Structure 1
């Protein structure tokens, strides 16, 4: 069980969320699962979409047990017809969509020239093209009903790209540009009650790391990971507030601000950090395409214990000296 019952939005926010209908693409683990379970505790209607049907049913049971309602719609975000079917099923069940969250995502870690082209193309299919498919369906519905919030799970890499994440960073930069362009189009079209929000976390301890394609030679990781509750709370708050870009946590905010003032230095410094943690010091790991082409059985929770494993490794290293 990965209940998020202790992650609190506040009484006023909870009242605003109760009874609203949220569609979550990427709801089977990580941020998506965390947001879904928390919304259940707030009494929301939660539509769960991802590729792992059995896991979606497990999340749905948690949502219902917490006090919300849940609808499971197995969906591959890279297939436009499935995304349209997801919207149709939601409207048939609930009659509206208040918030649409494009949260499905996967990474590829390693030197750009060593990552297979088919893996990099699939990253674009999921992280960027999939967001475009979901966005068009959501915005059409929002324009029809006159309101709605479209939330993207971006990354601080939307602003500050990381070495060894080239294709992933490219998609997250594309998502930020999509956010900004769509907000201007909606403004020009007179849609004051429709907005698009890009949520930008720092590296977070979720199953993302074991689901990523990894050709770096080391176990997938990053320095100073945040707990997922920060991003879960920020994502739900983003549905209530009129902000279009939302760095999450002091590390993301600091990087965001630093990149505005010293962009090349910030990229250089960040690259050195990930080189140390991912290339020089990470325990060896074999090449893998992760969950890029097909779902994995493992990595089912909100948090994945990466930080605990790193601490254990450091303790063992000190003992061995």
Structure 2
């Protein structure tokens, strides 16, 4: 059964990781469009502040402090949504953390904790959502990363969790399609975003970490989430850099690996000495109510991301670009120049 999704203003949306970064931007945008919200994060204080802000604007909001790595907490979120609003239409699995450091320096305990939040949080949320939406219809939106499609040095546990999220999301989608369940399942894969992800990370490097450029504004990811909540999509890239990352990793893996090994380690390290290793949000709620760090410039728009909402136009542009590249290469061969 083809999913039929409501307009945002008629939806109840469950949103994890709601107190900062992409989750916070999404909550504010969804509330402005009239959605009812079930906000989920580990910090009860941050959730309370956000709920007060959104209610002042007329939004209907409930908050559920929860650790998405615990299945019983996520079950409590679903039950709260059903009791307060009679159910939900979209469930967004957005909670995520990262760790910087060489794989041999990161304790297995910390890697498991990262998986509890990133992977198991997505699994717990998706299963709770699917149990309700099988009968009522709606959307499950999982937030992955460009790292879902390729390797990422110095963030090996994070990259592994993103690959796991992609594998689970794609398999869940297939099974729901086999059941003819009226559920849209979307994986959103952003490039680097100017959010507090890095400041919340646990860091085993000698210097402060950073995300390599280009960085995109988290509002672009929030817009993609809300678009997918209304329009069934298999996956959506946020930022042309994310699409380029994925394409390069798939079509030219050896060249991609050489590039990553040569440049990506250095690109993720600043020149500032590392701060206290305990200053992170791996095991507890981080400083909430912060959409962006404000430390680096971010791209406010992206033609590719806008075009990707219209598959036929995006395909036409990709085909046109490929034809133009082929023509250039053929011309160079005809002149006897190097073919690349």
TM score, norm. by length of structure 2: 0.82
Query: Is this contact kept in 1: 2:192–2:216, CA < 8 A?
Result: yes
CA distances 1:98-125 after superposition (whole Å, capped 9, x unpaired): 0001111100111011112211110011
What is the rounded CA distance, in whole Å, between the counterparts of 1:172 and 1:268 in structure 2? 21
**Mean Cα deviation higher: 105-114 or 66-75:** 66-75
Q: In terms of Rg, which structure is larger?
A: 2
How many pairs are equivalent?
Answer: 291
Displacement of 1:61 in angstroms is 2.2
Rounded to whole Å, the distance in 1 between the matches of 2:164 and 2:74 is 20
Tell me how far 1:282 sits from its aligned partner: 3.2
SS in 1 for 2:161: helix
**What is the aligned counterpart of 2:22 among 16, 31, 47?**
31
What's the RMSD between the two structures over aligned residues? 1.7
Provide the secondary structure at the position in 1 that maps to 2:23: helix
Query: How far does residue 308 in structure 1 lie from its aligned partner after superposition?
Result: 5.3
After TM superposition, give the deviation of residue 16 of structure 1 in Å: 1.4
Aligned partners of 2:263, 2:100: CA distance in 1, in Å?
A: 14
CA shift at 1:267, angstroms? 3.5
- Alignment of structure 1 residues 1-321 onto 2, 5 Å: 16-145=7-136, 147-191=137-181, 193-224=182-213, 225-279=215-269, 281-286=270-275, 288-289=277-278, 290-296=280-286, 298=287, 300-307=289-296
Whether contact under 8 Å (1:158, 1:175) holds in the other structure is yes
Q: Distance in 1 between matches of 2:49 and 2:253?
A: 43
Shift of 1:287: 5.3
Structure 1 residue runs of 4 or more that deviate by more than 6 Å after TM superposition: none
Deviation at 1:264, TM superposition (A): 3.0
3-state SS, counterpart of residue 219 of structure 1: strand
User: Structure 1 CA distance, aligned partners of 2:68 and 2:162?
Assistant: 16
In structure 2, list runs of 5 or more residues that go unmatched.
Answer: 1-5, 299-340
Give 1:222 deviation, angstroms. Answer: 1.4
Q: For residues 287-316 of structure 1, give each alpha carbon's deviation from its aligned partner in whole angstroms, at most 9, with x where no partner exists.
A: 5251111223x353111123159xxxxxxx
Q: 1:221: how far off?
A: 0.7
Measure the CA separation in 2 of the matches of 1:95 and 1:267: 49
Deviates more, 1:61-70 or 1:44-53: 61-70
Which residue pairs with 1:10 in the alignment? Answer: none
Shift of 1:76: 0.8
User: Structure 1 length normalisation: TM-score?
Assistant: 0.86
How far is 1:254 from its partner?
1.5
Which stretches in structure 1 are left out of the alignment for 5+ residues?
Answer: 1-14, 310-321
Separation in structure 1 between the aligned mates of residue 49 and residue 258 of structure 2, nearest angstrom: 42
